Amino acid sequence: MGVPFWMAGGYGSADKLREALEQGAAGIQVGTAFAFSEESGMRADLKKTLIEQARRGEGVVFTDPLASPTGFPFKVALLEGTSSQLPIYQERKRVCDLGYLREPFAAPDGNIGYRCAAEPVANYVAKGGKVEDTVGRKCLCNALMANIGHAQVRKDDVVESPLVTVGDDLNSIAQFLAPDRDSYSAVDVVHSILGETARRAAAEEMRARTEMVLLATA
């Protein structure tokens, strides 16, 4: 159709970049690899634990069909201490105090109201939401703030728990680790993904230039 497209979801490697380009993609979009790099704002202990799991090939990612209040499937790392664990999710008292994921609805008085399927159930239902739509919904606003070290602290020192979102190929981030290191930088990711492609592009250009010079001098 002549429309440029980019491949995403498990494309963060030199092999997958090559595959995408061979299929005619303009490029790739990479999330997980950078989310665990040194430059990422993710909480250091979460990064460390999941990188260790990835190195052992033990990271487990669950595509949760309910967690996101917006209804989109949401991929999460199954990790202790995060609300990927049922007891932690169940223990949290629902509160909606960030509001980034609220959805507008037409209120009976003609105004626009806002509701979120992860807010307190009674509030959601009072705003015309269906109780069944609240089941399993997680407060991603608070969880994602906790992921980057800005968890809100509630009464009695209750701290909001993180919920780490990652791609299915979490374990493949181990490819960016040097044997003697337990972290990697965003530059390592770019070099690793682009290395071969960039080298081949440079070789192509060199070949083309050489041909031009040979033609010009023939």
Ligand X SMILES: Cc1cc2nc3c(=O)[nH]c(=O)nc-3n(C[C@H](O)[C@H](O)[C@H](O)COP(=O)(O)O)c2cc1C
Q: Which residues contribute to the site for ligand SF4 (CB under 6 A)? A: 69, 96-102, 116, 118-119, 139-142
Q: Is 129 in the site for ligand X (CB under 6 A)?
A: no
The neighbour count for residue 163, using CB atoms within 10 Å, is: 25
Count CB-CB contacts under 10 A for residue 107: 13
Q: Which of 84, 134, 161, 165 binds ligand X (CB under 6 A)?
A: 165
Taking residues 168 to 197 in sequence order and writing x for each that binds ligand X by CB under 6 A, - otherwise, the string is -x----------------------------
Question: In this chain, which of 16, 17, 20, 35 binds ligand X, going by CB under 6 A?
Answer: 35
Q: Is 162 in the site for ligand X (CB under 6 A)?
A: no
Among 77, 166, 173, 189, binds ligand X (CB under 6 A): 166
Cα pseudo-dihedral 127, 132, 138, 139, rounded to 10: 0
Instruction: Give how many residues touch ligand X by CB under 6 A.
Output: 14
Instruction: Compute, in degrees rounded to 10, the torsion defined by CA atoms 156, 159, 160, 165.
Output: -160
Whole-angstrom distance, CA of residue 210 vs CA of residue 218: 12
Query: Residue 27 interacts with ligand X (CB under 6 A)?
Result: no
- Answer yes or no whether residue 146 interacts with ligand X by CB under 6 A: no
The answer to whether 32 contacts ligand X (rule: CB under 6 A) is yes
Question: CA 173 from chain center: how many Å?
Answer: 13
Strands 61-64 and 27-29: unpaired
Determine the Cα–Cα distance for residues 28 and 18; give it in Å rounded to an integer: 10
Residues that bind ligand X (CB under 6 A): 8-10, 12, 29-33, 35, 165-167, 169
